[in-house]
Amino acid sequence: MTDRLEAYRVQAYNTAKLSENKMHDDTVAKRFGFSGGLVPGVDVMAYMLHLPVARWGRAFLERGLIEARFVKPVYDGEITDVTATESDGVLSIEVESRGELCATGSALLPASAPSFSIADYSETAAVAERKPVSITSYEPGKWLGTIPRVWAGEDASEYLTDVRETDAIYAREGLVHPGLLQRVMNKVLVDNAILGPWIHAGSRMQLLAAGASGDELTARAKVTGNYEKKGHRFVELDALLVANGRTALAHCQHIAIYQPREQAAA
């Protein structure tokens, strides 16, 4: 049996206009063939997360699994619709904007969270001095860490506003929005090299516990791939997201184009 969930509509917001990643800047993004600066993929994934949390509540934050693939850009200010159908316990999720399919994904609620040992993921500090990105920045087998980050109080509230989250569960129960875990995954790349314009291509995230607002978040990531495809250079990461150095919050696999091919002359 297939059931359609109530659609979720947001007015997309580019949270990264002033970020170091100039793929979110209108002028630079147009050099790569886009209409303007891209809404970050991690924020589009935050839009997608709304539906499984609406479906399963806190249980999804404690053990849910979500996958997302970004196929076309979402732009600042555009009305964006997130829809999902449920079949045999699996949500098939789509994100549409400007009449185009922008992202696809799926989510489900396992009976229990799989077990991951923090000891299997090397605790590594971010590099002391970032250098311009190169193939050696993300060598396969290399362990990468992140600068610890905390979202609490106003920072946590501002994040919920920025990603247009309407579910009250995060503020009511003092929980970390899992979209923040995706931001930490991006920081694995940013905290260890000086990047030019780059693109988050997709992620798979198995939640293991619900994080609390104010937790110190870090990633312990291993580079599992670094390759060229159609003129783009990709990096793949396998990581454990950790709260306060001791609690595993999520297991993530993250794919990014860290050196995209330019589409047009400046």
pLDDT in tens, the chain (266 residues): 679 889 999 999 888 776 677 666 767 777 777 877 789 999 999 999 999 999 999 999 999 999 999 999 999 899 999 999 999 999 999 999 999 999 999 999 999 999 999 999 999 999 999 999 998 999 999 999 999 999 998 999 999 999 999 999 999 999 999 999 999 999 999 999 999 888 999 999 999 999 999 999 999 999 999 999 999 999 999 999 999 999 999 999 999 999 988 754 43
Selection from 222, 218, 225 nearest residue 187 by Cα: 218
Boundaries of every domain in the chain: 2-259
Give me the architecture of the 2-259 domain, per CATH. Roll (3.10)
Give the burial string for 114-125 (b: 16+ CB within 10 Å, else e).
eeeeeeebeebe
For residue 18, the model assigns a pLDDT of 64
Contact (Cβ atoms closer than 8 angstroms) between residue 208 and residue 233:
no
Give burial (CB, 10 Å; 0-12/13-18/19+) of 189.
buried
CA angle 221, 224, 229 (to 5 degrees): 125
For residue 263, the model assigns a pLDDT of 55
Please list the helix, strand and coil fractions of the chain in percent, rounded to the nearest 5, in that order.
25, 35, 40
SS3 12: coil
Give burial (CB, 10 Å; 0-12/13-18/19+) of 256.
buried
Inter-axis angle of helices 178-190 and 41-56, to 10 degrees? 160
